[in-house]
A = this chain, B = another copy of it.
Amino acid sequence: MAAASGARRLRGPDELEIVAFERGHFTSYSACGIPYWVGGDVDGPDELVARTPEQHRERGIALRMRTEVTELDLERQRVRARDLESGEESWTGYDKLVLATGARPLRPALPGIDAPGVHGVQTLDDGRELLDALAAAEGRRAVVVGAGYIGVEMAEALLKRGYEVTVLDRGEQPMSTLDPDMGRLVREAMDGLGITTVGGAEVTRILTGDDGRVRAVATTEEEYPADVVVLGLGVAPETSLARAAGLPLGEYGGLLTDLSMRVRGREDVWAGGDCVEVLDLVSGRERHIALGTHANKHGQVIGANVAGGYGTFPGVVGTAVSKVCSLEIARTGLREKDARAAGLRFVTATVEATSRAGYYPGAAPMTVKVLAERRTGRLLGAQIVGREGAAKRVDIAAVALTAGMTVEQLVALDLGYAPPFSPVWDPVQVAARKAVSAVRAAGG
A: which residues have CB within 8 A of B? Answer: 30, 32-33, 36, 41-43, 47-48, 149, 291-294, 296-297, 312-323, 328, 330, 332, 357, 359-361, 389, 391-396, 398-400, 402-403, 405, 409, 411-422, 424-426
Complex CA gap A361/B398 in Å reads 26
- The answer to whether B317 and A417 have CB atoms under 8 Å apart is no
In the complex, residue of chain B having the shortest beta-carbon distance to the beta carbon of A320: B416
Contact of A402 with B395 in the complex, beta carbons under 8 Å: no
Chain B residues within 8 Å of A296, by CB: 424-425
Choose among B32, B41, B425 the residue that contacts A293 (Cβ–Cβ < 8 A): B425
CA distance A9 to B48 in the complex (A): 54
A417 / chain B contacts, CB cutoff of 8 Å: 32, 291-293, 319-321
CB A312 to nearest CB in B, in angstroms, measures 8
Q: Are B412 and A313 in contact (CB under 8 A)?
A: yes
Inter-chain contact B359/A321, CB cutoff 8 Å: no
CB distance from A27 to the nearest CB of B (A): 15
Q: Please, which residue of chain B has its CB at the minimum distance from the CB of A333?
A: B414
Contact residue among B330, B360, B395, B418 (Cβ-Cβ distance under 8 Å from A42) = B360
CA distance A174 to B297 in the complex (A): 37
9 pairs from A and B in contact (CB 8 Å cutoff)? A30-B424, A42-B419, A292-B424, A293-B414, A293-B424, A312-B412, A313-B412, A399-B415, A402-B403
Q: Which of B314, B322, B359, B409 contacts A47 (CB 8 A)?
A: B359
- Interface residue from B328, B361, B414 paired with A319 (Cβ < 8 Å): B414
The 10 closest A-B pairs by CB, nearest first: A403-B403, A321-B416, A293-B417, A399-B399, A47-B359, A316-B414, A319-B414, A317-B414, A296-B424, A395-B415
Contact A422 B392 (CB under 8 A): yes
> How far does the alpha carbon of A186 sit from the alpha carbon of B296 in the complex, in Å?
32
